[in-house]
Amino acid sequence: MNTFEQDFEDILKGKEPTTLYDPISYILLQPGKRLRPQLVHMSVEMFGGSAEDARKIALAFEMLHNFTLIHDDIMDEAPIRRGKETVYKKWNSNIAILSGDALAIMAFQQLLKLNCDNQIILDIAKIFSQTSLEICEGQQYDMDFETQQKVGIDEYIMMIRKKTAVMFAGCLKAGSILMSADEPTQQALYDLGIHLGLAFQLADDLLDVYATSPAFGKTIGGDIRDNKKTYLYLKALEWANPEQKQVLVEEFASPTVDFEKKYKTVRDIYDMLHIKEHTEEQVQYYSNLAMEDLRKVKVDETRKQQLNELINSLIKRSK
C-alpha cells in the first residue's frame, strides 16, 4: 500500500492555503492499516481487475475514512490517534473542521476521475454517498447514546453498523460494481462488509479495555474515560448484580477525575462477569457470518483467499 502515500502526496502537491491542506497531509500520510482501500482492491482483484482499476475508488474511501476521523476526534475530544496528536490538538478545532470538510469533497472528486461507463460511476457514487450519510447517522447515534439513560444491545449494534460497518460494505460493493458483478454477488459482498465491520468494531471495543500492545495507537481505556456505552459496558449492565450495576452506572455518569481508579474499577467488573470472553465470542460470530457471505460470492475459491485471510486476521488483531 506504499503507493497510497505517493498518490496522496501527488494530490496535495502545491495546494494552498497550507493551513487548510497541511492537516490533511498530516493525517493521510500517517501509517495506518489502510483497511478500507485494501477491501476495494480485494473486491476488484477478485473479479480479475487490477490495482490500477481499483485505485481511484480506494483513494476515495480512504480519504472519506480519514475525514470521519478528523471530525470524530473533535467530537470525542480525543488527544491521540495512531499514536500521534489528533488534528484538532495539533492545530485547533476550526482548522480541523474545515480541513475535514475539504477532505470529504476531495474524496468525491476521486470518483469523478474514474475511466469507465458513466452508469457505473453513478452507481459507485450512489453507494459512496449512501455510505457517507449513514456514517453521519451512526456518529449522531453514538453522541446521543452518551446522554441517553438506556441503550439496548440492538441499538448499539445498529449504531456501529452505520458508523463503522457500512464503510467496509461500501468498499466491497463499489469494487464489485466497477467490475460489473451481478446483483446477488454485489449483495453478498455488501453483507460480508457489514458482518466484517461489526466484528472489527467489537474487537476494537475489546482492545480499548484489554490491549497490551503500544501498537494500538490510542489511549487504553479511552472509552471508559469518556463514558462511552460500548458493547462491553452494555453487556456488563445486562449481566451485573444490583451492586455491580450501581457501580457501573455511577462511574459512567460522572466526569473522570481519577482515570486509573475508574479504569480498574470498571475492568474488574468486566472480568468478574467474563465480558471479555463473551465479546470474543461475538467477534467470532460475526466473522463466521462474513465467511458465510464469502461462500455466496460467485468466483473461483482461489480468488477469495485474500478476503478469507483478512476475516481470520480480525480475530487475532492487536491494534
Rounded mean pLDDT, 24-48: 94
Residues 47 and 172: beta-carbon distance below 8 Å: no
pLDDT digits (tens, 9 = 90+) for 237-254: 999 999 999 999 999 988
Is pLDDT larger for residue 311 or for residue 123? 123
Domains and CATH numbers, the chain: 2-315 (1.10.600.10)
Q: Cell triple for residue 198?
A: 461489526
Q: Cell triple for residue 17?
A: 492555503
3-state secondary structure of 174: helix
Confidence of residue 1 (pLDDT cuts 50, 70, 90): very low
Helix axes 259-272, 275-295, angle to 10 degrees: 70
Confidence of residue 82 (pLDDT cuts 50, 70, 90): confident
What does the pLDDT read at residue 15? 96
Q: Which residues pair with 80 in a beta bridge?
A: 85
- Residue 120 pLDDT exceeds 60: yes
Confidence of residue 141 (pLDDT cuts 50, 70, 90): very high
Out of 20-29, 79-88, 92-101, 188-197, pick the least confident. Answer: 79-88
The mean pLDDT value of the chain amounts to 93
Render 106-131 in DSSP notation, one character per residue.
HHHHHHTT--S-HHHHHHHHHHHHHH
- Residue 286 pLDDT exceeds 50: yes
What does the pLDDT read at residue 215? 54
Residues 166 and 128: beta-carbon distance below 8 Å: no
Is pLDDT larger for residue 193 or for residue 255? 193
Name the DSSP letter for residue 81. E
Percent of the chain having pLDDT more than 70? 97
- Distance (Å, whole) CA 61 – CA 56: 9
- Residue 133 pLDDT exceeds 90: yes
Sign of CA dihedral 148, 154, 158, 159: positive
What does the pLDDT read at residue 256? 83
Confidence of residue 235 (pLDDT cuts 50, 70, 90): very high
pLDDT digits (tens, 9 = 90+) for 264-275: 999 999 999 999
Report phi then psi at 262, rounded to 5.
Answer: -60, -45
Rounded mean pLDDT, 213-223: 71
In 3D space, the residue among 33, 28, 24 whose CA is nearest the CA of residue 1 turns out to be 33
Rounded mean pLDDT, 201-225: 83
Confidence of residue 255 (pLDDT cuts 50, 70, 90): confident
Q: How far apart are the first and last CA of the chain?
A: 18
- Residue 149 pLDDT exceeds 80: yes
Q: Cell triple for residue 30?
A: 500517517
What does the pLDDT read at residue 95? 98
What does the pLDDT read at residue 302? 94
Render 45-71 in DSSP notation, one character per residue.
HHTT--HHHHHHHHHHHHHHHHHHHHH
The residues, ordered by sequence, that sit 6+ positions from 188 with a Cβ below 8 Å of its Cβ are 293, 294, 296, 297
- Residue 226 pLDDT exceeds 90: no
Confidence of residue 318 (pLDDT cuts 50, 70, 90): low
- Residue 67 pLDDT exceeds 90: yes
> What's this model's pTM, rounded to 2 decimal places?
0.93
What does the pLDDT read at residue 144? 93
